[in-house]
Each structure stands twice: as C-alpha cells, then as structure tokens.
Amino acid sequence: MPTFDPDDLALWARGKWNQVPSKRIEGFSIDTRNIGKGELFVAIKDQRDGHEFVEVAKRDGAGGALVSSSDDRLSFPQLLASDTLDSLQGIAEEYRKTFAGIVIGITGSCGKTSTKDILGILLGSEVTHCTSGNLNNHLGVPLSLLGIELNQHKFAVIEAGINGKGEMQDLAKMIQPNIVLVTNIGSSHLAGLGDEAGVASEKAELFNPHPKLQKVIFPEKCLEHKEFSDFYEKSPSLCIVLRNGNPSEKHNSGDCYYEFRTETNTTGNSSTLRLWRDGFPVMTFPVPSLSDGMVSNIALSLLASLEMGIDQKALFERLPQYSPSALRGMTLTGRGCTYYVDCYNANPTSMLDSISFFSSQYSTLPRLFVLGGMEELGEEEEHLHEALGAQIKLNENDLVLLIGKKASWMAKGILSAGGKERQLLGLKDGSEAIPVIEDFRGAIFFKGSRALKLENLVPQWAVESNE
C-alpha cells in the first residue's frame, strides 16, 4: 500500500492536525472492523456516526483519524476538517493528480466489475491497480484511488457507480479519467435517476471533457442516447464506437468492429471473438461460450488495451487467464444437472442478457428458471418486470420459480409469451424453492437482486464446471 505524508494530507483535506503523526499514514479505512495498522480512520457520518468509533480505531492501531470534531480526551493524531467525506474525496482528487500513469474510468448499467476484471488482466496485473470488489460509489472511489502505488502502477482501472443525479460529477472530478469505457445504458437505479434517458445523462458525466481525457469507448447502442450521439458528432477524435458485425467497405475508420462465433466440430463447441480495428491486423481470440453482454465487455477491454499500447501477443496470452467472478455467470455441475449462477445483482439489461444466454445454451434440456425481483426501478418497476417476463420463451418441459412479490410481476409477461400456468410457481421466499431445485433434472438458472442471496439455493453437491 502507498504511504502518505501527514502534511500533504492536511493540505489536501483542508484541515489541521491536533498532533501531527510521527510516521507516514499507511492507507485509509472507513470501518474499524477491518482497519490496518498505521491507517487513517475516516469518521463518516452515515447510518452511524463514525466519530463514535475513533477510540476503537486508536485501540486497533490506526495512525490517526480524519474527523469533523476532535475528541480531546484521546492522545491520538486527529485531522480536523469541516466535512470528512468532502475531505476524503479532496485527498483522493489531489493524490490522483500525482499519478503519472493512465486512469481508466468504467461505468455502465451493468458489466462494470466484469469489464474491470478483464481489463486488469489484459493490462498486466503487476502494473495495474483495480477497484477492489465493487467499491465504486462516493466512498469506494476515493478509497480505490488511494490504493494506487505511484512507483509500481502504470494503469489504474476505476469503477464509477451511481444511484442518483449529480453523483457522477463528484466521481469524475476525483477520477479524472484518461480513458472512459461505458459498458451499456439500461434501466438501472431508476428510483434515483428517473428513466433510461436520465441514466444516459448521468453516465455521460464521466467523460465531460477535460485536459486529461484521451478516448471514450462505448457500444453502438449507446448512440441511441443524445449525450452519446452528440459527443460522437462533436468530438470524433475522442470517440471510438464498438460495433457488432463485419466492417463494410465504407465503414467508419475511427470505430472498431467485432464478431462472436460459436462453431460445432468433432471436439465440441469452439467460440471465437474476431476484432477489426483500422491500423491493426484482424485479430481472432478463442473465448468460452459467453452471453452477448460479456462478449461486448471483452471486446471493449481488448479495444481499450490496444489503445493503451498493449502488445497483441500479450493480449493473446493474458485473455485466457480471465474467468467470471463468483456469482457472475458461474457454471456448476452435480448429480446430472447444470447450474448457471448469475445472481450478484439484477436489472432488466443484465437479466435479459443472462436469460438469453442460458436459454440458448441449454435449449435441448429441461430448464428451471429460479428468478428473483429487481430493485431500484422506481415507478416503472411492475411494468419492467412484466416486460422482462415477456422475453422469456419456455419450452414444454421448462419450469419457472418466481421468488417474492416483485418476481411475481413477471408471470403476466411469461404467459403472454406462450408460457403455461402449470409452468409457473410463485413463492414467498427462497426456502420454498429448495425441494423443487433438488428434485429437478436438467439445467437450472439463478438470477435476482443481491438482497435475495439466491446462491444459497444452489445444492451443496454442485461444483464448478471446467466446461
């Protein structure tokens, strides 16, 4: 971890030490449950007031605390500032300015974490700092930035996730990205963002032009939104659109094209991703069978890596090192069944992408869809659940378990698409689903909001598949 000079921190935080630490600060924490020795504890006022835990931080070896009101009873370095969150973000903003490498900001309605993970591998894990987990909000972004090792890292890949209007401006100010990747625009966090147009408008704030911005990369579908189409027209030199399909003779030389193919041969299914980019030879990468969304995320990551000068040979060597994170498209097998677990989170875009992939992959088997509801969809939540249900096409031997009230709204849509009443079972909670899951023989799909923890319904005998 990087270390920090106390005088720099006081300047960046616009604060003052009650007593200056005798050693450099060895990182930052907002949670005393996992604070490290020598770290600065940041007392955030949220659901609980972090100032209540300053004494605990001292006891557990913190190097000091960033506070808005000091506890004079403690003989302990305390950096006093008017607003601890604002000061933490200010520290991160100033520290980012000292980084001479390339910062890649990633946003989108879904796929941010997967794209971050892929890009971290392609750029070289030894020289790339990535957001830990999904620390991508107003608290996570500054902590992620403050993990950059100035003398080790050449690249920093930072996720930017938002729930409400105005949040991206604050994140962009800290990240100051050289490269921006937008995975997609969909119906997520509508309770705070209003509608898809609102989502697009807020996401676009990450590439609000600034002197350090070099490239903005996004899929063609984003051009449906004014902020993206306007930027593409007004700043073509800053923009690369990723388009699905072969380039024509009159293609836009500034864009990139990709094609995903799965071919059946004597050894089974062979999938390849082909990438066209003017100035580079046509590149073909072997990849596992993946959803359309995941293929797009890989293509975006490859394109960004090429823009940052990564050798093509290195890309061929590094891409096979990637495998989906737990709960993000993991395939398990056991007792003659296949279990596809993609339940880290859910919104209409990610749900449809995952369901479409699962449905096509296992079209010849009886299928059991274990579906939970989607959160933060605002006033349109019932309609969006029903619309998703209308996209689910059932075969004769398929079954659907709808867990919870919000998932039950999908039923009307499933029936309108040809599903039968006998194929649907509404359940109050996941525990009722266990006997059905354990007795089913075929392919079983799990997807729903994080709060439902649908992964707990996967039988214990299911183990990771090597397919």
Q: Is the pLDDT of residue 345 over 90?
A: no
pLDDT tens-place string over residues 219-248: 999 999 999 999 999 999 999 999 999 888
d(CA 295, CA 312): 18
Angle between helices 381-389 and 348-361 (to 10 degrees): 10
Determine the pLDDT at residue 267.
Answer: 45
Element (H, E) at 157: strand 155-159
Mean pLDDT for 321-337 is 87
d(CA 33, CA 47): 16
* Class (C level, CATH) for 99-321: alpha beta
Domain 6-82, second-level architecture? 3-Layer(aba) Sandwich (3.40)
Q: How far is CA 376 from the centre of its chain?
A: 16
Structure-token pair, residue 262 = 């799965």
Give domain 330-464's CATH number out of 3.90.1490.10, 3.40.50.800, 3.30.1300.10, 3.90.190.20. Answer: 3.90.190.20
Confidence band (pLDDT; 50, 70, 90) for 218? very high
Would you list the DSSP string of 263-276?
A: EEETTEEEEEEEEE
The candidate with the shortest Cα–Cα distance to 388, out of 423, 337, 351, is 351
Mean pLDDT for 275-294 is 91
Long-range pairs for 321-324 at CB < 8 Å and ≥24 separation?
A: 321/121, 322/117, 322/118, 322/121, 322/298, 324/114, 324/294
Confidence band (pLDDT; 50, 70, 90) for 266? very low
Confidence band (pLDDT; 50, 70, 90) for 23? very high
Boundaries of every domain in the chain: 6-82, 99-321, 330-464
Among the listed ranges 90-94, 331-335, 341-345, 408-412, which one has the minimum average pLDDT value?
Answer: 341-345
Among the listed ranges 202-206, 376-380, 390-394, 403-407, which one has the minimum average pLDDT value?
Answer: 376-380
Determine the pLDDT at residue 49.
Answer: 94
Q: Provide the percentage of residues in the chain whose pLDDT is more than 70.
A: 98
The backbone torsions φ and ψ at residue 185, rounded to the nearest 5 degrees and listed phi first, read: -125, 125
Mean pLDDT for 364-374 is 97
Element (H, E) at 304: helix 292-307
CA distances to 138, 159, 160, 189, 345 from 134, in Å: 12, 7, 9, 16, 12
- Mean of all residue pLDDT scores within the chain: 93
Determine the pLDDT at residue 263.
Answer: 66
